[in-house]
Structures are given as C-alpha cells and as structure tokens.
Amino acid sequence: MYKRLSAVLFPVMTLLFIGSIYWGYQEHQEKNSILIRAENQYQRAFHDLSYHVEALHKQLGNTLAVSANSQGFHRKGLINVWRLTSEAQNEVNQLPLNLLPFNKTEEFLSRIANFSYKTAVRDLTKQPLTDDEFKTLKALYDSSKEISKDLRAMQQKVISNSLRWMDVESALAQERTATDNTLIDGFRSVDKKVGDYPEINWGPSVSMMYQRRTVNMLSGGNATPEEIRQKAAKFLGVPADVVRVVENAKGTEYESYTAMAGESAAGNLVQLEYTRRGGQLISYFNPREIGKKQIDLKEARANADEFLEKHDYPDMVAVNYDDYGDSGTFTYVATQNGVLLYPEKLTVKVALDNGEPVSLQAADFVYEHHKRKLPKPKMSEAEARKALNPGFKVAINRKSLITNEMGDEVLCYEYEGRINGGYYRVFINADSGIEEAVEQLPEGGGTAASAR
C-alpha cells in the first residue's frame, strides 16, 4: 500500500518542487527587471537634471549678454529659462529625494521658474526689464553656475564609480544617517549652498506667491478664549457653557482657536476655527451624515444666501457652484460699489437633504478683506466687448476685480457666455482691453447665473 502511495506521490511532489523553483526563479527575474527599470529611470533623470541646469546657466548668460534694449531677445531668453527650469523641477521630482532635505533647492528652482514666466508674459516693449531685474538675473547666473558645477562633479563620480540610485533609495528608506553615500552627501551639500546664497530680490509678484499667511497680517487685538466661546455660541445659537475652546500653535505666528460643541444631530462635534488676532472666523464644519438629496439648486442657493446674511457676510455674490451628489458647494465673492472682488472669496457647503449649510471656508475672505480704492475703467464696456471672440455669446457681463498672473489686482469687465459648445468666463482688462484670464465653467449649473 505504502509503495503504491509513494509511487503516486513522489512524481507529484517532484513536479511541485520543480514548479516552485521555476516560480521563484520567475519572481526573482521579474523583481530584477523592475529594479533595473527603476535604476535606469533614476539615472536618466539625474543626468538630464545635470544637463538642464547647465543649459539654464548658459541661457541666463545669453540673456544677460545682449543689449538692455533687446526686449525681443529678453523675452525669448526668459521663456527658455522658464522651460529649462520646469524640466529641472520635473527631474528632481523623479529622483528618490522625498526623504532627503532638498527643499531649499526645489524652492529656488520654483522661484526661478515663476520669476522668468511672470517677467516674460508682460509686454517688455512697454515694461522693459528694470535694473533690479537685471541684478536678479545676474545673481541667478552666478548661482546656477555653482549648482551646475556641483552636479557635474557628482555626475563624474556616478559614472567613474558606477554608483547606483537604488542604494540611495535604500539608504533613505532605512534612515541610515551614518552613511557616506556620495549622492546623498552631494545633494545635501547643494541644498546647504543654496540656503546660504544671499537674499535675491525676486520682485513683488513672485514674493507674493511665497508669502505665508500669519496672524501678523491681521488687524485688531488678540481675542481671549472666553471671547471666542461667546462668538461660537452666538454663531451656533447654543449656550456658551456647552462650547469648549482649544488654543492652537500658542506662542507662534500661526496662533488660532478651535471651538467645539456637540451640536449636530448625530452627536458629532461641530468645529469652528478662529484667528487669535481679531477673533475672525476661518472655518465652520458640521460633520453630520447627509441623507438623500431632496432639494434643488435654487433652494440650496437661497439657504446659503440667508446663512451668510445671518452671520454678518453682507453683499456676497455666488459666482460658482459644484455639485457633489448629496451636497453642493457655492463660491461667493465680496462686492464693493457693484464690483465683484474675487480675492475676497469664501465657500459654503449646503446639505441637499434639508438645505442646511454644513460648512464654511473663509480664510481667503479673512486675509484679503479690506476697503479698496477702486480705479475707474479707462475703457467702456462696449469697447471691452470688442476684444471678445465674435462667436462668443454673452449671457452675463459685470465689473470684477481679480488678481492677474503678475500678482496685481486689476479691474476687469467679466463676461460669461457660450462658445464652441462650452460655457466660459472671460476677464477683459478695463484699462488695456487684453484678456487677463479665461476659465471654462462646468455644464449644467456651475455658474452664478444657473444658481439663481
């Protein structure tokens, strides 16, 4: 019996054993293939990065070499600087540097890209490069030379010593700080040098992009926890003794308060975020479960309007609507003398089961809200309308203040309408008649008009 059983099982076990060896070999080959592809991708990205930084340095030199009156060549050079910097940023993102401090270099490349783009898109025949901008280009030329030199030195070591990027990834993943990995040390050295560069004058439009919002930007005195408790209680319509207040980031420039109350039907905590300076509401969130959709867009819009009026946000106009199935989110902007102020925006999320507003995000409104001296338009609405595509069918027109690509607030004539089967919003500069911005709006209810 045992002989017959072994005669049957032995071949079966032999086949299984051979099969497992073959499967293991296939897995090993597949793993090696993946590692080789990853290593090749890292090597390509690194060598491309070195090439593009060197090309960036040369392009900056070419831009500086021509006459100060060569606006056409300056524009062409700056566009190439922006393109090369964008390529370098893309290659940095392909390298396994997420665990390595390389943020100073990444920010430096980002600032170069934004500086060159914002400078190139303006009309250099009317606004040629300033002395400060030439100084900035010279500083970038010198800095890119140093970075390029360091990357080339690393590149030589990679080639001569057959260094592998997979070893870098392994070292970073295992947090081996005592490693003498040439590539890790090289990138750390580059980042340290970039951090030690003298401060560069990037100009207001670029600097504004990296400006952090802190309590120092706000007016008014510091609110106390008790004042926040009273504000939250009034907002929610509940007794003050059920509201709990927590201080956040105490002693820093990001100080704030979170007020909480068990106000929602499900017993979840409703949360309100306030700034410490001025005690202004940044956000409100009611985490209740939302039921099946019962109300339409028009009723939801009316409830959102009433909610803002009730909580002291007068003269707000809904300009966008996003439908998320069981809820809808309206984007509102402030108005002044009939002009829409797009920098001062906030959003209200409405539950579509009963029309209750369940969320408010007002950070942009808090930090941008102030009385503005609005300029008078140099062009009439009829003159600005001539800048539109002849096929554009206007549904709405009004005056708006927006922030353009240069970071400047500009007065525009805003047009909503249809062209090429889509619905668009076009902003025409009220002084120059140029298109400052164009955006395609969602079909079927994504605009202010359809929310009325």
The pLDDT value given to residue 351: 93
Residues paired with residue 318 on neighbouring β-strands, in sequence order:
332
- Residues (pLDDT < 50) of the chain are 177-180, 264-265, 445, 448-452
CB 114, CB 209: distance < 8 Å? yes
Residue type, 366: V
CB 362, CB 285: distance < 8 Å? no
Residue 252 sits at the vertex; the CA angle it makes with 251 and 253, to the nearest 5 degrees, is 135
CB 319, CB 330: distance < 8 Å? no
Query: 251 — alpha (psi -120 to 50), left (phi > 0) or beta?
Result: left
* Residue-wise pLDDT tens digits, 124-146: 888 888 888 888 889 888 888 88
Whether the full predicted model's pTM is greater than 0.95, yes or no, is: no
The pLDDT value given to residue 367: 87
The pLDDT value given to residue 204: 56
The pLDDT value given to residue 64: 87
The pLDDT value given to residue 194: 74
From the list 355, 357, 352, 344, the residue with the least C-alpha distance to 314 is 344
Structure tokens at 37: 């592809």
Q: How many CB atoms lie under 10 A from the CB of residue 118? A: 20
* Residue-wise pLDDT tens digits, 54-72: 898 899 888 888 888 888 8
CB 346, CB 335: distance < 8 Å? no
447: DSSP letter: B
Q: Provide CB contacts within 8 A for 16, sequence distance 6+.
A: none
CB 246, CB 260: distance < 8 Å? yes
